């Protein structure tokens, strides 16, 4: 039944478009039917061009007003504030250029719409103008490139150091695991060949003959201490995945057969972030939406949605198969004391395989 | 040299071959017929590609809701009318493949390079009609195989249009990586062969068959764009072919070019020593130039249409040619900006950031030159002109966000989010599509001897223009909110619950945009048969194609090929009666040719 109905609707839409097209065609005067734009067409379309400029500005302002609050909150990592600065500078330049160029483009299209008897200006070249609008982008971009490269080098230079916490992020279809190095601070060797050892209890394929691996800790929820650099070593056991941690402005692909790296220092605990005014407002808005969705569910005899509480997230951001959209892990940023306490409760690899 | 070749052809032209239906309409070697074949195949593929995008937009706006249309079109892949996640990925993959390669590469370049290169440079036909015909039929074959892949048991390829291994290499990883992926690879290999044959033909024709007086610096910008595009294609497509062949080896013959240390479905695979990052390099060595293979012809078409309809010379011809060449050169050394976070050495990221942001310079020059061409013009706002202005608008809006994505630092957090989707759809998808539409409206009289209906053209443009911004502008916000692309739904994350209404807005605009294309389709088909008969030079244009008779004939011109005496942009030249002086009109006594 639905099949027949939707087919009928499709056919009807098709017919109505065809009919509207037909009406437009018939409504044209037969007399002047060259299908080349005349003065009237130029005037109307010129005006529409101007209106379109207003539309572009309008949709920009409307989007910011209506959806400005969906943007990510302030970064929760040390390098993140630098990232956000660079982002806002780039955006300022983009909006400036966008506003001016679109204005010129559409205003000229309106202002100089064709009229019979009018002649265009023969203006084919001007080396000075060309030089100006080559040099201005060169200078602007040079600035952006230098600033960008400076920040990039800063973020990407991962240096091993005593104080840093080393964490392995381990990806597989369709979940994440994390491995801590344990008391010795060294991750044990690992390879997919060892995954089947110990009846599948060797979750990330640690080489049990490597003594460094025995005190490693494998978890399904990532805990990080605030204010301490974390060096991530990423692995994947099957296909490409990407460890995306948007709140920390951090991302790196996980590639089977190699170890990739990314490092950052979280600077806000989960508790602090939950008190951030932007996050509070966002959570409130989301819970309002969820409450409304729940009403419909309850009316259908289903369970209501649970209220949402903010948590940091790790998402998969490289297409990896059917459940790509649901490959996630919760990240909790603790105070150092909370972190130590949590860590003490975890089982080591040696305990797991016993 | 060019004249000698042309003369040989001229003598050849005397005796006509007998043409049957088959040689005229099917296995034609005439460039005008081949152009039409490309256009119609491209439009057909376009309908499929756009329809797919509407299907997955429905799923994104109303996730996991049953739709009758899914049951009809997707059958067992939409149990009870709810789209399956694997099918969602397949639709996204095939939409991307079809739109990028089949519509905007073959449909755009194939159509207008074939139609315009011989006609605008003053040649009887392409250098090799036979290769040209083979090129089209290979394209047709690859289209058939791509469509056939939609009907295999486990579904078509679903690893994204970039088909990164190991996902694309292992049938265990997803159902689409079985037979569907094999057909995808075979189809693309044939497509590349077609593209290479076509490109070589375009290059040889432009270099050798220009009529007397058509120096390289008098070439219309369309031809410059097609010529340079063909060169980029010849340089970069073979690399994709090699990537595809190596992937076929990995898939079918157990080699390990791209695979290493894999455990899947409870089994350790034998692959050792390969790297998916190698595939990414090979893919993007074509993949990025491909953006310009798509875009440059659209910009060439726009240059021609804006000058003609502004009744003004294109501003800065030399700078336009220089920027085409600069973009082409730079396009081959920026591919790494797709791989900032792929795990490659961060130092490479710095290099690629530098080269990538350099591309903004010639792009900015082009945009400013278009705007200056409009200044103090006498704009004839025909539908083709509207689409050209629309192209400049979306090219700017989409191009500017490239400053963010091309910057390795900023890319970290927006990489592979909807921000990217918004960026590239505006800057290459919509822009190139506008270029295609502009070209069809402008050269329809040349192709079919009839005019398209202008009022329908206006409706088509304005609805499309509003809807395109309506779709892609809000999408930037979805990306900045941190939502990854290629997610079947965002309902698995309560954090994204407040994106639901943006998704509905986007989908509604997408449906409107889709409906507007029906107006175009009607106009196109109807005008082909019932449109008003075209005059020889309806747009009062300078280029040579408008000196050929409206009725198509083999060899393009009944008599001698016109000789060229000036550049293509003598519009509104002082001291001339008309506001245009076609290229074949000799200079008046005392008239100076512009030094360019």
Distance from CA of B118 to the nearest CA of A (A): 25
Written as one string, the DSSP assignment of B473-518 is HHHHHHHHTTPBSS-S-STT-GGGGGGHHHHHHHHHHHHHHHHHHH
Tokens at residue B84, please? 């399956």
State whether A108 and B456 contact (CB < 8 Å): no
**Domain limits for position B242:** 2-7+30-547
Tokens 């509104």 -> residue? B572
CA dihedral A139, B391, B370, B368 (to 10 degrees): -10
The single-letter DSSP state of residue B579 is S
Taking 70 as the pLDDT cut, the residues of chain A under it are: 1-7, 9-10, 21-32
B562/A contact by beta carbon, under 8 A? no
| Separation CA B596–CA B589 (nearest Å) | 20
Tokens 């170890």 -> residue? A259
Q: How many domains does chain B have?
A: 1
| Separation CA B429–CA B436 (nearest Å) | 11
State whether B404 and A87 contact (CB < 8 Å): yes
A271/B contact by beta carbon, under 8 A? no
Tokens at residue A234, please? 């990423």
Considering the domain boundaries, does residue B183 fall inside one?
yes
Contacts of A285 in chain B (CB under 8 A): 498
**What CATH number is associated with residue A186?**
2.60.40.420
User: Which has the closest alpha carbon to A121: B475, B375, B151, B569?
Assistant: B375
Nearest-by-Cβ selection for B498 from A17, A112, A289: A289
B63/A contact by beta carbon, under 8 A? no
Nearest CA in chain A to B386: A45
Considering the domain boundaries, does residue B552 fall inside one?
no
Written as one string, the DSSP assignment of B97-136 is HIIIIIIIIIIIIIHHHHHHHHHHHT-SS-S-HHHHHHHH
Nearest CA in chain B to A193: B268
Residues 367-426 of B with CB under 8 A from A: 367-372, 374-382, 385-386, 389, 392-393, 396-397, 400-401, 403-404, 407-410, 412-413, 415-417
Cis peptide preceding B166, ω within 30 of 0: yes
Q: Sign (positive/negative) of CA torsion B224, B1, B14, B12?
A: negative
State the pLDDT at residue A163.
86
State whether A71 and B480 contact (CB < 8 Å): yes
B497/A contact by beta carbon, under 8 A? yes
Nearest-by-Cβ selection for B486 from A20, A258, A324: A324
Distance from CA of A122 to the nearest CA of B (A): 6
**Number of other residues whose CB lies within 10 A of the CB of residue B515:** 18
| Separation CA B555–CA B29 (nearest Å) | 11
A16/B contact by beta carbon, under 8 A? no
A328/B contact by beta carbon, under 8 A? yes
User: Which has the closest alpha carbon to A138: B316, B332, B359?
Assistant: B359
State whether B381 and A49 contact (CB < 8 Å): yes
Tokens 């032209």 -> residue? B13
Considering the domain boundaries, does residue B20 fall inside one?
no
Residues 511-540 of B with CB under 8 A from A: 515, 518-519, 522-523, 526, 531-532, 535, 538-539
Contact (Cβ atoms closer than 8 angstroms) between residue B419 and residue B405: yes
- Residue range B542-561, pLDDT digits in tens: 999 999 999 999 899 998 99
Distances in whole angstroms, Cα of residue A42 to Cα of each of B113, B386, B544? 30, 10, 26
Contact (Cβ atoms closer than 8 angstroms) between residue B194 and residue B136: yes
Q: How many domains does chain A have?
A: 1
Considering the domain boundaries, does residue B184 fall inside one?
yes
State whether A24 and B71 contact (CB < 8 Å): no
Considering the domain boundaries, does residue B13 fall inside one?
no
The single-letter DSSP state of residue A252 is E
A256/B contact by beta carbon, under 8 A? yes
Nearest-by-Cβ selection for B315 from A56, A124, A244: A124
A133/B contact by beta carbon, under 8 A? yes
Contact (Cβ atoms closer than 8 angstroms) between residue B460 and residue B518: no
Burial class (CB in 10 A: 0-12, 13-18, 19+), B215: exposed
Nearest-by-Cβ selection for A112 from B376, B392, B579: B376
Distance from CA of B11 to the nearest CA of A (A): 38
User: Which has the closest alpha carbon to B365: B410, B397, B389, B396?
Assistant: B396
A283 by DSSP, 3-state: which? Answer: helix
State the pLDDT at residue A78.
94
pTM: 0.93
Distance from CA of A29 to the nearest CA of B (A): 11
A145/B contact by beta carbon, under 8 A? yes
**What CATH number is associated with residue B302?**
1.20.210.10
- Residue range A70-89, pLDDT digits in tens: 999 999 999 999 999 999 99
Considering the domain boundaries, does residue A346 fall inside one?
yes
State whether A322 and B474 contact (CB < 8 Å): no
**Domain limits for position A210:** 169-272+308-353
| Separation CA B431–CA B427 (nearest Å) | 6
State the pLDDT at residue A3.
56
Contacts of A286 in chain B (CB under 8 A): 494-495, 497-498
Nearest-by-Cβ selection for A35 from B264, B354, B451: B451
Indicate which of A23, A96, A141, A176 best probes the interface with B, i.e. most B CBs within 10 Å of its own CB. Answer: A141
Q: pLDDT 10s digit of each residue in chain B, 596 long?
A: 444 444 444 444 444 556 788 877 888 899 999 999 999 999 999 999 999 999 999 999 999 889 989 988 988 899 889 999 999 999 999 999 999 999 999 999 999 999 999 999 999 999 999 999 999 999 999 999 999 999 998 999 999 999 999 999 999 999 999 999 999 999 999 999 999 999 999 999 999 999 999 999 999 999 999 999 999 999 999 999 999 999 999 999 999 999 999 999 989 999 999 999 999 999 999 999 999 999 999 999 999 999 999 999 999 999 999 999 999 999 999 999 999 999 999 999 999 999 998 999 999 999 999 999 999 999 999 999 999 999 999 999 999 999 999 999 999 999 999 999 999 999 999 999 999 999 999 999 999 999 999 999 999 999 999 999 999 999 999 999 999 999 999 999 999 999 999 999 999 999 999 999 999 999 999 999 999 999 999 999 999 999 999 999 989 999 899 999 999 999 999 988 889 999 999 998 888 887 65
């Amino acid at each position: 039944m639905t099949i027949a109905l939707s087919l009928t609707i499709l056919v009807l839409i098709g017919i109505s478009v065809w009919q509207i097209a037909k009406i437009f065609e018939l409504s044209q005067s037969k007399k002047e039917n060259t299908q080349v734009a005349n003065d009237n067409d130029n005037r109307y379309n010129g005006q529409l061009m101007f209106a379109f400029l207003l539309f572009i500005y309008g949709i920009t302002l409307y989007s910011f007003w209506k959806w400005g609050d969906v943007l990510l909150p302030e970064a929760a990592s040390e390098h993140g504030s630098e990232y956000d600065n660079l982002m806002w500078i780039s955006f300022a330049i983009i909006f400036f250029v966008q506003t001016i160029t679109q204005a010129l483009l559409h205003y000229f299209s309106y202002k100089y719409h064709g009229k019979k008897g009018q002649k265009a200006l023969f203006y084919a070249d001007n080396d000075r103008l060309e030089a100006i609008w080559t040099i201005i982008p060169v200078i602007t971009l040079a600035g952006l490139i230098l600033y960008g490269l400076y920040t990039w080098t800063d973020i990407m230079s991962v240096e091993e150091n005593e104080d840093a916490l080393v964490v392995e992020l381990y990806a597989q279809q369709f979940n994440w695991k994390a491995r801590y190095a344990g008391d010795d601070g060294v991750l044990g060797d690992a390879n997919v060949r060892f995954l089947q050892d110990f009846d599948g209890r060797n979750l990330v394929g640690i080489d049990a003959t490597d003594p460094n691996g025995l005190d490693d800790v494998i978890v399904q929820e990532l805990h990080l201490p605030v204010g301490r650099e974390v060096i991530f070593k990423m692995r994947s056991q099957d296909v490409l995945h990407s460890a995306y941690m948007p709140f920390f402005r951090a991302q790196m692909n996980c590639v089977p057969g190699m170890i990739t790296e990314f490092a950052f220092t979280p600077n806000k605990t989960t508790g602090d972030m939950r008190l951030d005014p932007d996050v509070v407002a966002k959570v409130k808005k989301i819970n309002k939406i969820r409450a409304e969705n729940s009403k419909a569910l309850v009316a259908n005899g289903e369970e209501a949605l649970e209220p949402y509480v903010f948590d940091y997230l790790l998402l998969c951001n490289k297409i990896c198969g059917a459940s790509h959209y649901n490959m996630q892990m919760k990240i909790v940023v603790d105070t150092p004391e909370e972190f130590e306490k949590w860590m003490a409760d975890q089982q080591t690899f040696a305990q797991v395989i016993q | 040299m060019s004249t000698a070749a042309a003369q040989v052809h001229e003598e050849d032209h005397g005796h006509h071959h007998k043409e049957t239906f088959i040689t005229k309409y099917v296995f034609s070697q005439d460039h005008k017929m081949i152009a039409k074949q490309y256009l119609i195949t491209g439009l057909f593929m376009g309908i499929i590609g756009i329809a797919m995008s509407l299907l997955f937009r429905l799923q994104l706006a109303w996730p996991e809701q049953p739709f009758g249309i899914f049951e009809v079109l997707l059958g067992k892949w939409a149990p009870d009318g709810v789209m399956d996640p694997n099918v969602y990925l397949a639709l996204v993959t095939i939409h991307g493949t079809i739109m990028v390669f089949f519509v905007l590469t073959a449909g755009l370049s194939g159509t207008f390079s074939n139609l315009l290169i011989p006609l605008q440079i003053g040649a009887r036909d392409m250098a090799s009609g036979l290769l040209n015909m083979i090129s089209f039929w290979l394209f047709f074959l690859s289209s058939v195989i791509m469509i056939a892949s939609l009907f295999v048991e486990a579904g078509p390829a679903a690893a994204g249009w970039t088909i990164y291994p190991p996902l694309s290499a292992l049938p265990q990883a997803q159902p689409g990586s079985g037979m569907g992926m094999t057909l995808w690879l075979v189809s693309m290999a044939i497509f590349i062969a077609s593209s290479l044959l076509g490109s070589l033909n375009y290059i040889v024709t432009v270099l050798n068959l220009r009529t007397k007086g058509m120096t390289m610096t008098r070439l219309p910008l369309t031809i410059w764009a097609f010529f340079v595009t063909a060169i980029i294609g010849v340089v970069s497509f073979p690399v994709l072919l090699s990537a595809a062949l190596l992937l076929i080896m990995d898939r079918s013959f157990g080699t390990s070019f791209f695979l290493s240390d894999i455990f899947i479905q409870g089994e350790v695979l034998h692959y050792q020593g390969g790297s998916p990052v190698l595939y990414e390099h090979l893919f993007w060595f074509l993949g990025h130039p491909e953006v310009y293979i798509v875009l440059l012809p659209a910009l060439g078409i726009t240059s021609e249409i804006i000058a003609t309809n502004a009744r003004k010379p294109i501003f800065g011809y030399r700078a336009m040619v220089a920027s085409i060449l600069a973009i082409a050169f730079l396009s081959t050394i920026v591919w790494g900006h797709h791989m900032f976070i792929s795990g490659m050495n961060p130092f490479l990221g710095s290099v690629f950031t530098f080269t990538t942001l350099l591309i903004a310079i010639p792009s900015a020059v082009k945009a400013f030159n278009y705007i200056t061409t409009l200044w103090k013009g006498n704009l004839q706002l025909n539908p083709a002109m509207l689409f050209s202005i629309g192209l400049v608008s979306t090219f700017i809006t989409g191009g500017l966000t490239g400053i963010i994505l091309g910057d390795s630092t900023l890319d970290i957090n927006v990489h592979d989010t909807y921000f990217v989707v918004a960026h590239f759809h505006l800057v290459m998808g919509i822009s190139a599509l506008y270029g295609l539409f502009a070209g069809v409206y402008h050269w329809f009289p040349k192709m079919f001897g009839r005019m398209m209906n202008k009022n329908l053209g206006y409706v088509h443009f304005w609805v499309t223009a509003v809807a395109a911004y309506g779709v892609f502008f809000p999408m930037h916000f979805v990306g900045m909110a941190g939502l990854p692309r290629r997610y079947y739904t965002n309902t698995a994350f309560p954090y994204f619950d407040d994106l639901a209404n943006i998704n509905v807005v986007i989908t509604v605009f997408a449906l409107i945009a889709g409906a507007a294309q029906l107006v175009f389709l009607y106009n196109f088909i109807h005008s082909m048969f019932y449109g008003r008969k075209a005059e020889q030079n309806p747009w009062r244009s300078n280029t040579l194609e408008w000196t050929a008779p409206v009725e198509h004939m083999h060899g393009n011109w009944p008599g001698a090929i016109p000789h060229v005496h000036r550049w293509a942009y003598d519009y509104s030249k002082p001291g001339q009666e008309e506001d245009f002086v076609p290229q074949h009109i000799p200079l008046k006594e005392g008239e100076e040719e512009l030094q360019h």
